[in-house]
């Protein structure tokens, strides 16, 4: 069995999602997140590309994911957008601060230390990180089935963990998610 959250593990999960026609689309949250976007956008862990459909056509967008299956499907579903198979680590090395906004939807809980991906996101985003994370601490089945390693009980826990990276504010998502924005440099816009 592949290590949880490895490329091979995600490839298997992607095939499972595709088979079940679970395209990881969260229409209301995606629309709310799209209103938080400024400038150019990179979405890390773009899955099947659903969020890109919530953006205005003129928004310059790049979706990256470590799953070849997800990137292939995203290109099929949203051919007007650009999707590439790439890790966050490789994006930092190859792109630098090329984007105004970095998006991380249901991504941060897959890292054992949230400071690692948040630091990398600050290295590719000039002004803002838009995020969603699951509400609550992961149960055993979430670790095994969804790859959730860490979690946050409430908005206050997220605020405390994320505030070293900038000014944190929240927006309404569904009851299972904590949704927000980190304005880099601590400036609220």
Neighbour tally for 163: CB within 10 Å: 12
pLDDT in the model for residue 141: 75
pLDDT in the model for residue 137: 86
In a domain, 2, yes or no: no
In a domain, 99, yes or no: yes
Domain that holds residue 49: 7-184
Residue 117 has pLDDT above 60, yes or no: yes
The answer to whether 59 and 41 have CB atoms below 8 angstroms apart is yes
Mean pLDDT of the chain: 92
In a domain, 137, yes or no: yes
In a domain, 123, yes or no: yes
Cα(113)–Cα(110) distance, integer angstroms: 9
Q: How many domains does the chain have?
A: 1
- pLDDT confidence tier of residue 187, bands split at 50, 70 and 90: low
Cα(97)–Cα(2) distance, integer angstroms: 32
In a domain, 189, yes or no: no
Query: pLDDT of 16-48, one tens digit each?
Result: 888 888 777 788 899 999 999 999 999 999 999
Query: pLDDT of 98-116, one tens digit each?
Result: 999 999 999 999 999 999 9
**Most confident segment among 2-11, 140-149, 175-184:** 175-184
Query: pLDDT of 41-98, one tens digit each?
Result: 999 999 999 999 999 999 999 999 999 999 999 999 999 999 999 999 999 999 989 9
- pLDDT confidence tier of residue 185, bands split at 50, 70 and 90: confident
pLDDT in the model for residue 189: 54
Domain CATH code at residue 81: 3.40.50.150
What does the buried/exposed string (b/e) look like for 165-181 if buried means 16 or more CB atoms within 10 Å of the residue's CB?
bbbbeeeebeeebbbbb
In a domain, 43, yes or no: yes
Tell me the percentage of the chain whose pLDDT exceeds 90. 74
Q: Tokens standing for 11?
A: 């490839």
């Amino acid at each position: 069995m592949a290590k949880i959250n490895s490329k091979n593990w995600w490839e298997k999960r992607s095939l499972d999602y595709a088979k079940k026609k679970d395209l990881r689309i969260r229409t209301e949250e995606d629309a709310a997140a799209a209103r938080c976007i400024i400038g150019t956008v990179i979405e890390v862990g773009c899955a099947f590309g659903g969020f890109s459909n919530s953006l205005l056509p003129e928004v310059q967008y790049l979706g990256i994911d470590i799953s070849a299956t997800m990137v292939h499907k995203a290109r099929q579903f949203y051919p007007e957008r650009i999707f590439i198979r790439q890790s966050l680590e490789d994006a930092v090395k190859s792109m630098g601060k090329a984007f105004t906004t970095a998006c991380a939807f249901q991504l941060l809980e897959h890292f054992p230390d949230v400071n690692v991906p948040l630091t990398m996101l600050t290295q590719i985003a000039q002004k803002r990180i838009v995020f969603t994370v699951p509400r609550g601490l992961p149960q055993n089945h979430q670790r095994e089935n969804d790859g959730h390693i860490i979690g946050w009980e409430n908005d206050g826990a997220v605020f405390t963990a994320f505030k070293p990276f900038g000014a944190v504010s929240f927006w309404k998502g569904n009851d299972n998610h904590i949704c927000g924005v980190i304005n880099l440099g601590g400036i609220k816009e």
